Homo-oligomer: A and B are copies of this chain.
């Protein structure tokens, strides 16, 4: 029996979506909160009439709700069009502001950042004369705060480190890194896009000055984000025009999505202690099951200091794209690493930075669980995945 016929026979009755780190469905409660602003309320929140005021009030409420989760002031919350915009505004906004004030052009970041951070800093270095120090990560993808401290120079203007990594799920010692920045007066930014739905987001406990979030990672729509900027941190706007968002981000506000983001963030934070427990149980069953069935599969990222919904592996002798295609035919949606990185034949720079050999890194598999995931789904994956891997190794022995 070939791989295909096996797959079609074993195809589960419902789609098993294990790509929640790439994007989540919009929660029905979130969509319900958004619908009045799509179907009934309209106008421009900057206007001077009743329609406009209703939208401006909804914006105010959403901003206050987000601020409550972050433990900050409403005016420290900037709504953006996505996590990538938040990262860009944070990094470019701080970098250009500091450079123009003559403070320097040196940025510290880590070897396990999302491209929205790493490519943006690279862009500043290539086109605008900035310099960067990339601190390494250990075999679990962890940053050593001492490395950050050692990297600081007199012209360092920004430290940007990820809170929890998208490809490997590792959670960084963010508060320790934040404390280093705080003591030396260097702004600390974190890409908290993957952490948003699962971890503590209190900016004082995390000791960060800028924090990026993306709605569609926690059951709000794709196309809305947040950048928290601590009061007093100078930020040169990157999108100018009207005076929206306190003059820091021009553009008519996307009220439906902003309302959705605020609703989704509050919901995710309200249920996270219970939901995280449930996800960890499923995740650990998945990790143990994969390791039992495929003893040479290696868990990537930290075994315990990782996102509750996140399981990632490298599997020897398997090409990730081929594996994903066969999982898809079997009704299982999975990923190799960052969704923003698919279709590329290069191994992940993050896996390489952790010391994983390039050939092995091409066999990366990421399974990220969500609210709809059940133990039955996990058991189905544990039945289907090892069989596909074994058959691929037989039929595609060179990959």
Contact = CB atoms under 8 A, between A and B. Distances in A.
Interface of A: 15, 17, 19, 22-26, 31, 34, 38-39, 42-44, 46-52, 80-85, 87-88, 96, 100, 114-117, 119-120, 122-123, 127, 214, 216, 221-224, 236-244, 250-257, 321, 324-325, 327-328, 332-336, 338-343
Contact of A38 (B26, B122, B244, B332): B26
A100 B119 contact: no
A373 to B, nearest CB: 14
A132 to B, nearest CB: 14
B252 A23 contact: yes
Contact of A87 (B117, B241, B256): B241
Given A84-B250, A250-B84, A47 B339 contact: yes
A210 B315 CA distance: 46
B31 A47 contact: no
Contacts of A257: 223, 254
Contacts of A336: 48
A333 B51 contact: yes
A51 B17 contact: yes
Given A237-B123, A333-B43, A339-B47, A31 B23 contact: no
Contacts of A44: 19, 22-23, 216, 222, 339
B333 A52 contact: yes
A-B complex: 7 closest residue pairs judged by Cβ atoms: A223-B254, A242-B340, A81-B81, A116-B241, A22-B44, A25-B42, A84-B251
A221 B252 CA distance: 10
A47 B252 CA distance: 30
A124 to B, nearest CB: 9
A251 B23 contact: no
Nearest to A325: B48
A46 B82 CA distance: 15
B19 A43 contact: yes
Given A26-B38, A43-B23, A116 B242 contact: yes
B82 A123 contact: no
A114 to B, nearest CB: 7
A81 B82 CA distance: 9
A23 B48 contact: no
Given A241-B114, A335-B48, A22 B38 contact: no
A37 to B, nearest CB: 9
Contacts of A38: 26, 31, 34, 38, 221
A48 B243 CA distance: 40
Contact of A23 (B17, B22, B42, B341): B42
B324 A88 contact: no
B115 A241 contact: yes
